[in-house]
A and B are shown apart, each in its own frame.
Chain A
């Protein structure tokens, strides 16, 4: 287990809207932590031995770190755009590597089989060529021009459409998805996956959304995402090995998996190996 390179990153540890003075016990990379609000209503995160951990509040969530973050949390400009609805989806606990949870989020080829008749449906299984790059200036993995046929792309969709996706990986356990917005073709809906690594093989997944949708009820928006993430969990808890293999050989990628290939390469380059399996181990 190598924690060093990932220890200085920010991780989601709870919803800001759910904070209370009593605090909520959880864990970050194996260390028990308490997430609470202080007398002034600010978020406060305490480590196992009572030490006060770094805190920031952004995108509906409280973020913390066991180390000393060298830079501010990544930016999502759409989070400041007027007219969007911001949705705290809640949490799904998954018995898997936090890195496997992110990799699954980057994948569209599983839609027809895992999210049948919602995000995909046979015979529309083909993944057309798309573009993947590691953007060196911002040090992020990007996949663009990802197109996929979806029977029910979003709660606001009526009928099947070919949806376009862009994926961003700005931090080892976080991904931001930009997706065709059915009611506003000129804009992108934003759906994020913020993953809290509880341990190398256990994580809490905190999805969050910034949408243009004035009609769907909050309950329905949350239920839609919960359905999707629970379907993903049935996969993630049955992959072998539980840790993400970073070296080639154990798993076979195809052209549809180029985002995953770039993500694994980027993780390895940065020694982001908490939750990963290396051949040397």
Chain B
């Protein structure tokens, strides 16, 4: 390879004078005359790169990645918190609903009982009134009947006196007539 390089550089001598001048046709990677230059430039370049990377580049990119990671975690935590809150709100709502429903039931049954009691009481009063009225009416009827009965006795005695007088022509004794009427009424009754 060294020979071919030598030939080539000989041919291209015009174009590459500076290039080939220093190393006299040796295989470039093993040309020790360039080592010092390369080592010095590598040392400078690599130290510069190391400083840039360790001081600026990695903290910067690492910070961006970390910030993103934190943000994602924060958002997830926030979402979880909101989810928990909504679940708690739903539970509270359901509890309230159940409580309201049972209270409504209690109120309605209480009202029903109250109304029942009230109507029962009213009915009783009315019944009592009606019973009293019935008693009064019965008394009135009994009185009326007694009065009517006593009238009937008089009328019956008169009628019996008149009948006997017509049949016999003799006016009967009043006491006898009364006794007969009484006996007859008693027999009927």
Q: Do A and B come from one complex?
A: no
On A, residues with C-beta under 8 Å from B are none
On B, residues with C-beta under 8 Å from A are none
